[in-house]
Chains A and B, each alone.
Chain A
Amino acid sequence: MIGLGGVLTLSACSRGRSSGADSRDVVAAGSPAALLVWAVGRERLAGWPRKPGAKALAALPALAADLPELGSLASGGGRPADIEAIAALKPRLVIDYGDTDPEYQTLAQRMQARLGVEWRLIDGTLTRIPEAIREAGALLGAAGGADGLADDAAGVLERWRSAPAGPGFYYARGADGLETGFRGALATEVLEGARWTNVAEGSRNIGRVTREQVAAWDPEVLVTLDSGFADAIRTDPVWRWRRNGERRRVLLLPDRPFGWVDRPPSVNRLLGCAWLADPKGSAMTLASLSRRLYGMAPVEVAQPRWIS
């Protein structure tokens, strides 16, 4: 199976390196890094750790579909990259974006030694997105554009921090909605930072709960990125009615091309921050951010939907 993976990777790489391939000399270690590089200097991106799905690709410029899938060099799931195939691309730089604790720094050093290529680990903290964009811009030789995007990001985060307090929410992940981010988890950071109250107290991580537990928390709002789940519970009284007899609201946030609050934990979360900072007046900001982050046309930008 690993052998097959290697063959697939190599053939995919060889197909991808056509015109302009020589300038695609930066490898993203994982999906968060790929989004950062795509936002700051997409012409340098050698390929996707995991290629976005068809619907996401439809919303992105054509270049996104042309890039090959290289596999993931970072820990945390997804098809692992074939190190030899990555080395054969002769990249000038590998960028990882996320945790910078000693474990990941050690991993970065090991991978740099194995590949013989500079490996830069950039801090993926949500509130440090502007700094991450600037650092990536400097590394990719795109400081001018990156500084503009970083300034926009800083403005969005400033407004997001001072947003008025929001409702008590339960963040429903997965097709059955029973996977959630407990208060303090990375997955719910965007919502909690905008002073929405996460009703799920627990391990500060991702976990599964029961429907009875959700009913006991009795959240005012269900937040989800999964349209399938939002459709499935449309008429389900347990999900849709609160214990005081009020109808529970469901907020369906866009997940295309990437999630607005989660999945992956990268610069894509700026869109969630921008909307939460000003749910009614953020259309221009969202269109501008989507263009700068992804190269999307304004017409492609989806809007959050309240389902009552």
Chain B
Amino acid sequence: MDFLNRLTPALPALILALLALAGAAGVLATGPLAISPGDLLSALFGQGSPDAELVLTLRGPRLLAALTCGAALAGAGAGFQILFRNPLAAPDLLGVSSGAGLGAALALLLGAGTALVQGAAFAGGLAAGGLAMGCAALTRSGDGRLALILCGVVAGALASAGLGLVVIVAEPYSQLPAITWWLLGSFTRATLAEALFALVPIGLGGAVLLWLGFRLDVLSLGDEQARSLGLPARRLRLAALAAAALMTSAAVALAGIVGWIGLLAPHAARLIVGERAGRLIPASMAVGALFALVIDRLATAFGPAEIPVGLLSAALGAPAFLFLFVATSRRS
């Protein structure tokens, strides 16, 4: 009974995670190569036809990329929203996505291969986040939240300006399309090795946010309250910000700029599990993973051409966000 009582708070997140896994199974079973579920199941145990094994080779990394990117962006978004007590906070708050976009665009301009492009995007995201946090540390503005937001806007604007410059000087018949496609986002370009590699920073960042748990709730009340409870507010906030920036950079490096997940998923999860960080962050990650799976499936559902997931996430995320906003405001 005690076990059940302890399990109950985690139940909604568990159900969401199971839903995400069911979605993953659905996505794994559908695509341009028609394979029966039985054949696919056999392939999972190394007994399938060559076509079924090919399907696993192709859909596996894509699924992993969608799941991890969706979870990372949503987890980072939830972390930012709690820390800043701001429902409009999103993973790009510190300019991380714009910095990652600039890094990738520069690498594509220089003719780098896929791995280098991802590395440059990751480094660019961390650099922009580091710039915002570094500049905010130089200010003496209250508990630093406003300074962080403003410095994040500055870092993002600088990165966007740099990106604009890269777009203008890019060769229009090869580099420019490559940069445009990259920025619009896709879960299909990741290889298994790349998707697994991205799991390291995303897992590390997610673990830090989950470990912070209730401390994030305390931090959201302000530094004085946190210190009065014996928490090293400044260091914990830095750890949370670094973790969220790490997750966002890794997700953008893997899939390009996929907006709205980090904003929408925490709001949806909040309706189910409430405000407490210990529940909200894992639930947000599960909702984000599910949303990413849906848009990934839709990306190739209307013909052979892939619709960029960045476009789909905005097209679906914006009205869904509006719906959630209306629903929650009516309830309150």
For B303, what are the chain A residues with a Cβ–Cβ distance below 8 Å?
Answer: 202-203
Measured in the bound complex, the distance between the Cα atoms of B58 and A182 in whole Å is 22
Give the interface segment out of A15-23, A130-138, A172-180, A277-285: A172-180
Which of the segments B75-83, B170-178, B320-328 contacts the partner chain?
B170-178
Task: Closest A residue to B180 by CB, please name it.
Answer: A77
Contact B305 A178 (CB under 8 A): no
Asked whether A213 and B172 contact (CB < 8 A) given A176-B189, A207-B305, A243-B50, the answer is no
B188 in complex: contacting residue of A80, A210, A217, CB < 8 Å? A210
**In contact, B305 and A209 (Cβ under 8 angstroms):** yes
Q: Is A158 an interface residue (CB 8 A)?
A: no
Distance to closest chain B CB from A186 (angstroms):
11
Asked if residues B188 and A211 are in contact (CB atoms below 8 Å), the reply is yes
Question: Residues 46-74 of chain A: 1 if any B CB is under 8 Å from the residue's CB, otherwise 0?
Answer: 00001001000000000000000000100
Residue of B58, B176, B300, B305 contacting most chain A CB atoms (<10 Å): B305
Number of chain B residues close to chain A: CB under 8 A: 39
How many whole Å from A184's CB to the nearest CB in chain B? Answer: 13
B51 at the interface (CB under 8 A from A): yes
What CA separation (Å) do A262 and B174 show in the bound complex? 10
The listed residue (A31, A207, A215, A238) touching B173 by CB distance below 8 A is A31
Question: Does B214 sit at the interface, judged by CB under 8 A?
Answer: no
- State how many residues of chain A have any CB contact under 8 Å with chain B: 43
- Chain A 201-238: CB-based contact to B (< 8 A → 1; otherwise 0): 11100111111110111000000001010001000001
Contacts of B173 in A (CB 8 A): 31, 77, 259, 262-264
CB-CB contacts below 8 Å: A142-186 with B: 173-176, 178-179, 182
* Pairwise interchain contact A209-B306, C-beta atoms closer than 8 A: yes
Asked if B193 lies at the interface with its beta carbon under 8 angstroms from chain A, I say: no
Q: How far is the CA of A262 from the CA of B117 in the complex (A)?
A: 25
Beta-carbon nearest neighbor of B31 in chain A: A212
In this assembly, does A247 line the interface, its C-beta being within 8 Å of a C-beta of chain B?
no
B33 at the interface (CB under 8 A from A): yes
Residues of chain B within 8 A of A200, CB atoms compared: 304
Closest 10 A/B residue pairs (Cβ): A77-B172, A207-B305, A216-B32, A263-B173, A78-B172, A212-B58, A210-B188, A208-B306, A79-B168, A213-B32
Interface residues of chain B, those whose CB is within 8 Å of chain A, are 31-33, 50-51, 54-55, 57-59, 62, 108, 111, 113-114, 117, 161, 164-165, 168-174, 176-178, 181, 186, 188-189, 300, 303-306, 308
Selected A-B contacts with CB under 8 Å, 24 pairs: A50-B172, A76-B172, A77-B176, A78-B171, A78-B172, A78-B176, A173-B177, A174-B174, A175-B108, A175-B178, A178-B189, A179-B181, A202-B305, A207-B306, A209-B304, A210-B300, A213-B304, A215-B54, A215-B58, A216-B31, A228-B111, A238-B54, A243-B51, A262-B173
